[in-house]
Amino acid sequence: MHLRYVTPSAVEVGGADDLVRWRHRSDGFLWLHLDGWDDEAAALLRNEFGCHPQAIAACGQRTHLPTFHGYPDHWFVVVHRPLIGRAGHVHLLQIEQFIRDDALITLRGPHNPDIDPQQVDRHTEELRTRLDAGRLHPKSPSELSHALVSGLAREHRTVLDALAGRASALEQDVMRDDLRHPEQLLERMFLLRHELVTLRTMAGNTHEVFGRMAGVAGTPTFDDRDLMADLSDRFERVRHIGDSEREFVAGVIDYYQTKTATKMTVAMERLAVLAAVTLPITALASIYGMNVIVNGSTHWGHLAAALAAMALISGLLLRWTKRQGWW
């Protein structure tokens, strides 16, 4: 548990013993961050803050979509932070928030146990550092929530920038590739496209959620629609950039596939030329190899004439294919 009480002039750091006492203060607001989900956390949300049972039940569930529940005296919001894993897998680090007029409650949602715990809590830890150092001065729980989610939007933008750098490097590799080892490039291309699609989907879904929040009236004391509209716009821009990068990668894939198909077409044309050139040789050799023709000895003149006919026909075929531009 991490407890802060934010006033216009200071930020006070407290512990579990200060929670009940600070709940009765009115000179600022409370920020409570819970490190995990258990029965004790559920009881605290239910008994101390009066959170809705449906929202409390949702806290213990892993979700792949951002979520918004609007209640008369508080909002429940679920957002995700992207973390690129191995083999192109994008982890969704779930952050849950209860926004009240007098408190902001955040907690770490369910996640893959293989992820480093420092990665899971990095975002809220950075926000606490900014708040304690005086670099952030929120006036309400909604403004603090806005700062938290704005950081998530920047995280989306940072990951997208890294993917754009990989897309640029991939384009150069495709331009230089001699098509001798296509498996590695194909894997890189489709993994990158998968990561871009996942990030774009996350940003698009989050944009829709905050767009909905901007259009829903909350309680009179924290109906901060402008903040929600700003967050919706931030994720909308990330989505547009993600769409552009996805189209760029799709263009690189199309170029590579066209390049591969062209090489295969040229190879088939050359094989067809070879087959056409060797066809008369094969035909004449087959005729002379029939058992119906029996010679007691080699007729050198006859053999020379047959070989000359083979060479002449093959030469004529080579000349014709050259005029056709096949080689």
- Average pLDDT, consecutive stretches of 10 residues, N- to C-terminus, the chain (327 residues): 86 84 86 84 86 87 86 87 75 86 85 72 83 86 89 87 86 77 77 86 88 70 73 90 86 80 74 71 67 59 75 76 65
Q: Which residues contact 5 (CB under 8 A, 6 or more apart)?
A: 11, 12, 14, 18, 22, 25, 28, 29, 30, 31
pLDDT, position 292: 47
- The HSE-up count of residue 202 (CA atoms within 13 Å, CB side) is 27
Q: Which domains does the chain have, with CATH numbers?
A: 2-260 (3.30.460.20), 261-323 (no CATH)
pLDDT, position 186: 78
- CB of 327 within 8 A of CB of 273? yes
Phi, then psi, of 50 in degrees rounded to 5: 65, 35
pLDDT, position 98: 92
- CB of 276 within 8 A of CB of 317? yes
What pTM was computed for the model?
Answer: 0.75
Distance spanning both ends of the chain, measured CA to CA: 75
CA-based angle 46:49:55, to the nearest 5?
55
Residues 25 and 7: their CA atoms lie apart, in Å, by 10
CA of residue 39 relative to chain centroid, distance: 34
pLDDT, position 220: 46
Phi, then psi, of 272 in degrees rounded to 5: -65, -40
Token reading at 92: 């969704």
Within 10 A of 19 (CB to CB), how many other CB atoms are there? 16
- The HSE-up count of residue 16 (CA atoms within 13 Å, CB side) is 6
Whole-number Cα distances in Å, 215 to 55, 78, 222: 20, 17, 14
Q: Which position has the token pair 């990665």?
A: 119
Whole-number Cα distances in Å, 251 to 91, 174, 255: 26, 11, 6
Q: Residue 70: which H helix or E strand, with range?
A: strand 67-70
